[in-house]
Amino acid sequence: MLLLAVLAVALVVPPLSSTAPPTDSTALRDAVTVEGIMEHQEAFQAIADANGDTRASGTPGYDASLAYVQEQLEATGYYDVTVQPFLYDAFRELATPVFQRISPDPRDYVANEDFITMDYSDTGDVTGTLVATNDIVIPPGATASSSSSGCEPGDYVPASTTEPQVALAQRGTCDFRVKAENAEAAGYDALIVFNEGQPGRQETLAGTLTADDTSTIPVIGTSFAIGEELYNLVNAGPVTVRVATTTEIRRDVPTANLLATTKTGRVDRQVVVGAHLDSVQEGPGINDNGSGSSAILEVALQMAELDAQPENQVRFAWWGAEESGLIGSQFYVDSLTKREVKNTAVNLNFDMVGSPNYVRFVYDGDASDTASLASAGSGVVEDVFVDYFDSQDLASEPTAFDGRSDYDAFISVGIPAGGLFTGAEGIKTPEEAAIYGGTAGIAYDPCYHQACDTIDNLSLQALDEMSDATAHATLVFAMTQSAIEGTDKGKGKAKGHADFLGSKLRK
> What amino acid occupies position 147?
S
Distance from C-alpha of 484 to C-alpha of 477, rounded to nearest angstrom: 10
> What amino acid occupies position 13?
V
Neighbouring residues of 418: CB distance < 8 A, sequence distance ≥ 6 = 346, 347, 348, 349, 362, 363, 365, 378, 381, 382, 384, 385, 407, 473
Say if residues 347 and 317 touch (Cβ distance below 8 Å). no
Indicate the angle between helix axes 290-305 and 34-49, nearest 10 degrees: 130
Distance from C-alpha of 477 to C-alpha of 471, rounded to nearest angstrom: 10
Rounded to the nearest 5 percent, the helix, strand and coil shares of the chain are 30, 25, 45
Distance from C-alpha of 50 to C-alpha of 61, rounded to nearest angstrom: 8
Distance from C-alpha of 316 to C-alpha of 377, rounded to nearest angstrom: 21
> Is 229 assigned a catalytic role?
no
Say if residues 368 and 397 touch (Cβ distance below 8 Å). no
Neighbouring residues of 311: CB distance < 8 A, sequence distance ≥ 6 = 12, 265, 266, 269, 478, 479, 480, 481
Question: Active-site residue among 93, 184, 322, 323?
Answer: 322
Q: Which residue numbers are catalytic?
A: 322
